[in-house]
Structure 1
Amino acid sequence: MLSANIQAGSSTRGYHDYVARSWSHVLPAGNKRGSLDLIAQLAGQYDIVGLNEADPGSLRSGFTNQTQYLAQHGGFDYWSHQPNRRMAGVASSANGLLSKLEPIEVTDHALPGRISGRGVLLARFGSGDDGLMIAIAHLSLGANSRSVQLGFIAELLQDHRHAVLMGDFNCAVDRPEMQALFRNTRLQPPAFAVPTFPSWQPQRAIDHILISDGLGCSGARAMSAAQSDHLALSLELDVPDKALG
């Protein structure tokens, strides 16, 4: 599986681009389509992909639903998205799911926080207590808001023995709010940190794929998601057959 904050297809090659290329975050300029094609090539190598900051079809993306575009060009039969923040139709952001496996249910929930506009997308594979639950989230910058959001997510996942939580957490796993998540669910901290931000000189491990203790994994690594300011994070997940069907 793969988790990627794609920055709506925008290009950021250094901190100076946040200012010099700020127009690309609100206007349909730059080579966003080319970036999406590169991301689709990468995503297509995986069975399940979680997206953050995928534009669901606003001015800056040329009214292209980027999750749908990646599904079509990456070879995914199933996709879903959860639009979150909107800025007067000029720019919008979504969590997204791309899957080559058919989920039996997809739901979304608004996350609590001081500023509204973030959410968690849930996809269930398989049935009963052994089914696999995938959660995709993009958490707040502030620790207090993250703490409330992770508490909410913990309530959603606490009864699932086969669960995965992935996305842009905006914090490292050793933060106090993350420890509360681990105490209240079967999710486990990763064996080692994989820095993903900033993409041009990764120093912070803030994108994560967390799995429950009933699942096995290997091969965690970071790789370029076109020219996003985050590297994508991949993981090979060992899922029991009963969790998928």
Structure 2
Amino acid sequence: MRFVLYNIRYGTGIRTHNFMRSSIKNLERITSFLNEQKPDIVGLIEVDQGSYRMGGKNQAELLAESLGHYHSYSTKYEESSLWRNVPVLSHQGNAFLARDRIRNETFHFFKQGMKRLVMELELEHVVVYLVHLAVGARARHHQLGSLYTLLQKAQKPYIVAGDFNMLWGEREIDLFLAASGLQNANEQHLPTYPCHKPNRHLDFILYSKGINIRDFRVPRVRFSDHLPLVMDFDVEVEEEKREEARIMAEA
């Protein structure tokens, strides 16, 4: 399977002065890039779900239609948040695109930070969690603790991906990896931000036991201020479950 993680910055490109302008043209470039990758799963951070920048159109829905994928999305602010009532901000969120049928989707929210959303996507043999952690170190520390607790409930091999905003550097993620037992797919610690001269490793794909990595890369494309991450992987499936899946597919 191929998983692509991409903080697309609401499709607004890399220039600050474009942030409040139409993002339709740049989204077309992102669409072409994703189609070239032929992903099975896509995790999108900073998705515009229908502000004036997109003429009321949801970027997740447009990308899913182009790829022929299912999609799941949510605003990054919890239901009681005042940010849900602010123009433009109320349309900002994260999204999943998936080639296979989505078995279940759950939206969790941290108790700390401005951006609180944790998206949980369950597919047949794997669960994927998508996060965009706080910039503030104190809030991010609490979010990581809550994320650790949430992951203990996983019943299948799982992936945790997103923009972790690890501004303290590698030591901060190393502590989380040691506690959780997860592995970092980016073994070479390739930087992902900023796209024009990357020197920070902010975006991560972490994985549990039962997942085997076949390939990992960070394409040098400049459609956002972040670089995308591409991971090819296999999921270890028990023979009994594999046979059950085969029978259901043939039915």
1:35 Cα shift? 1.7
Cα shift readout 1:76-109 (whole Å, capped 9, x = no counterpart):
1x10001125472234311100000112100111
RMSD: 2.2
Q: Give me the whole-angstrom Cα distance separating, in 1, the residues matched to 2:205 and 2:88.
A: 31
Q: Give me the whole-angstrom Cα distance separating, in 2, the residues matched to 1:147 and 1:206.
A: 15
Q: Does the aligned pair in 1 maintain the 2:184–2:205 contact within 8 Å?
A: no
**Which residue of the partner structure matches residue 139 of structure 1?**
133
| Larger deviation, residues 65-74 vs 181-190 | 181-190
The answer to whether structure 1 residue 121 and structure 2 residue 113 are counterparts is no
Task: State the number of aligned residues.
Answer: 227
| Structure with more of its chain in helix, by fraction | 2
Q: Does the aligned pair in 1 maintain the 2:110–2:117 contact within 8 Å?
A: yes
Q: Give me the whole-angstrom Cα distance separating, in 1, the residues matched to 2:207 and 2:30.
A: 24
1:207 Cα shift? 0.7
**Which residue of the partner structure matches residue 98 of structure 1?**
97
Provide structure 1 residue ranges, at least 5 long, that are not aligned to the other structure. none
Structure-1-length-normalised TM-score? 0.84
Q: Give me the whole-angstrom Cα distance separating, in 1, the residues matched to 2:106 and 2:153.
A: 16
Q: Give me the whole-angstrom Cα distance separating, in 1, the residues matched to 2:73 and 2:45.
A: 10
Provide structure 2 residue ranges, at least 5 long, that are not aligned to the other structure. 78-82, 246-251
* Matched-pair identity in %: 29
1:225 Cα shift? 5.4
Q: Does the aligned pair in 2 maintain the 1:41–1:74 contact within 8 Å?
A: no
* Alignment CA distance shift 1:110-1:225 (3 Å): farther
Q: Give me the whole-angstrom Cα distance separating, in 2, the residues matched to 1:240 and 1:186.
A: 17
Letter in 2 for 1:60: R
Structure-2-length-normalised TM-score? 0.82
**Which residue of the partner structure matches residue 203 of structure 2?**
207
Q: Give me the whole-angstrom Cα distance separating, in 2, the residues matched to 1:81 and 1:225.
A: 24
**Which residue of the partner structure matches residue 25 of structure 2?**
34
Q: Does the aligned pair in 1 maintain the 2:132–2:164 contact within 8 Å?
A: yes
1:197 Cα shift? 0.3
| Structure with more of its chain in strand, by fraction | 1
